Amino acid sequence: MITSLVPKLVPKLVLCGLLVLTLSFKVSVGMRPFVAGQDEMVRTYIATFLGRHGFQPDRVVAIQNPIGALGRSGGCQILIAEVAYQGWQRDLFRRTISEEDQFFFFFRGHKYQDQPVWLTRLSGYSNAFLRNLGFNAPVEPVLGIAASPPCDLNTMPWQELADHVAALRR
């Protein structure tokens, strides 16, 4: 009797164990802790970054969600936003630009035509989990960058911007 129950119980126990493990992971990662003023510091730094590279930051258009800034230089208009690593804002970001605009997502030193959601989610969730366990895991921001056609986006130091945003998010 008992030997016939064991094969039926093992898969159920394994599933229960996996359920507990995944739920504990989700609960431990949770939402990032709110730090008062952090979003404003990131927005201000992005505007400062634009100013240092010859753009006039548009103080009227302060991008709230996602966090970002808009700048102009002659016929060039550029938008830089820190988008969610989960990919939630990817389509919203793409809808805010026109068809002729150039755009890309910047993550871990690489430019992507589309946000590599599987990579950014893996990084975001695993690093948040490690930080919750007390480890010094990095914050790796995902930047959405769009510009009008006359802009040369290849000369901008995107890694410098990403490193500074990461430092502000720690």
Output the CA–CA distances (angstroms, integers) from residue 144 to 12, 21, 49, 85, 158, in the order listed. Answer: 44, 33, 15, 11, 11
- Domain chopping of the chain, boundaries: 1-30, 38-169
- Report yes or no on whether pTM surpasses 0.85: no
How far apart, in Å, do the first and last CA atoms of the chain sit? Answer: 57
Write out pLDDT tens, residues 86-139: 999 888 888 888 899 999 999 999 999 999 999 999 999 999 999 888 899 999
Write out pLDDT tens, residues 65-75: 788 899 999 99
